[in-house]
Amino acid sequence: MAFPWQKLHVTVLGCGFMGTAILQGLFRDAKDGPEIRATACVRSSTSIERAQKALAQHKDRITFQRNNFAEAAKDANVVMLGVPPDQLEALLSEAGLVDALRNKAIISLLAGVSTAQILQALAKEQDQRKQFHLVRVIPTIGAQYGDSLTLLADTDSAGKEEQAACEWLLNQIGAIQPISEDLIDTATAVGAACNALSFLAIDAVVDGSVADGLPRDTALSLAAQSLRSAAGLACNGMSPESIRAAMSIPRGITINSLLQLERGQVRSGISDSVRHAIAYTKGMSS
């Protein structure tokens, strides 16, 4: 998909971990596209120092700004909303910001906040909401490496050019997964739960390995690479059942490890954790 304009100036309002990862991915390997500039906006001095450090190699193309979000949004043609969801109302109450967002492509990164809720916060009158070209997305943590699977809500709240600009940007940080907006909260929760469970599993594997004498850095490399390999099999069409069957040879290590895990009710614990994450995410918008 071609970028519809000659230049891209993206402003991230609330450039936290995910906003920073998106900018890292965007500047990492953008090819055959427009001239790109960015503005990273944060509230605190600590946050601006963190963003400057993480994005230091792209400092010639990124402006770092503390506060005054309306001024930062005014010069952009794509604006990302990256603040915590419960801070949306406070963000939009800043003098001049709503006006600065009119007729721009707006990308919402806010988990648990629907397109309708954001549009209502931007404009109380229905006919005024057409002035805001809103796209709702949920990227994943691989964005900085160009490895995000970004959930893109299937809505019609953006114009054709604005939608194309947002999709071009998202393709620079990985792949896009279109999804019905009524399922995006569930999918968001599943992704978040998988992240948490993966990190916890790696940490537990490393601790167990170190307890039996393996150096921590070696254990971490093995655990991370094993998880990556298993994910690669799943991404290429192998079901968990077929992976398990292929690796569970008679009297093998894998099957005995799995049986030990089942004694600890790990499967039901993981399922319960995922369902809790889904319920929690849906509750964020109520």
**Where are the chain's structural domains?**
7-179, 187-283
Is 14 labelled a binding residue?
yes
The pair of three-digit structure tokens given for residue 172, joined into one six-digit string: 């620079």
Is 96 labelled a binding residue?
no
Are the CB atoms for 3 and 168 separated by under 8 Å? yes
The CATH classification of domain 7-179, taken from the options 3.90.1150.10, 3.30.428.10, 3.40.50.720, 3.40.50.2300: 3.40.50.720
Is 13 labelled a binding residue?
yes
Task: Name the residue with higher pLDDT: 47 or 125.
Answer: 47
**What is the 8-class DSSP label of residue 286?**
-
Is 69 labelled a binding residue?
no
Give the count of beta carbons closer than 10 Å to the beta carbon of residue 281: 21
Q: How confident is the model at residue 88 (pLDDT cuts 50, 70, 90)?
A: very high
- Whether residue 243 is predicted with pLDDT greater than 70 in this model: the reply is yes
Task: Name the residue with higher pLDDT: 283 or 104.
Answer: 104
Is 16 labelled a binding residue?
yes
Distance CA 153, CA 123 (A): 20
Distance CA 194, CA 206 (A): 18
Host H or E run for residue 72: helix 69-74
- Do the first three CATH levels of 7-179 and 187-283 match, i.e. the same topology? no
Q: How confident is the model at residue 39 (pLDDT cuts 50, 70, 90)?
A: very high
Give the angle 172-176-180 at the CA atoms, nearest 5°: 150
Q: State how beta strands 62-66 and 78-81 pair.
A: unpaired
Query: Rounded mean pLDDT of the chain?
Result: 93
Are the CB atoms for 16 and 82 separated by under 8 Å? yes
Distance CA 132, CA 46 (A): 31
Is 199 labelled a binding residue?
no
Mean pLDDT of 204-222: 97
What's the longest Cα–Cα distance across the chain?
68
Would you state the pLDDT for residue 2? 80
Provide the CB-side half-sphere exposure for 13 (13 A, CA). 30
Is 284 labelled a binding residue?
no
HEC string of 119-171?
HHHHCCCHHHHHHCEEEEEECCHHHHHCCEEEEEECCCCCCHHHHHHHHHHHH
**Could you report how far apart the first and last alpha carbons of the chain are, in Å?**
36
Would you state the pLDDT for residue 282? 85
Percent of the chain at pLDDT exceeding 70: 98
Are the CB atoms for 172 and 113 separated by under 8 Å? no
Domain 187-283 CATH superfamily: ProC C-terminal domain-like (1.10.3730.10)
Give the angle 140-143-144 at the CA atoms, nearest 5°: 140
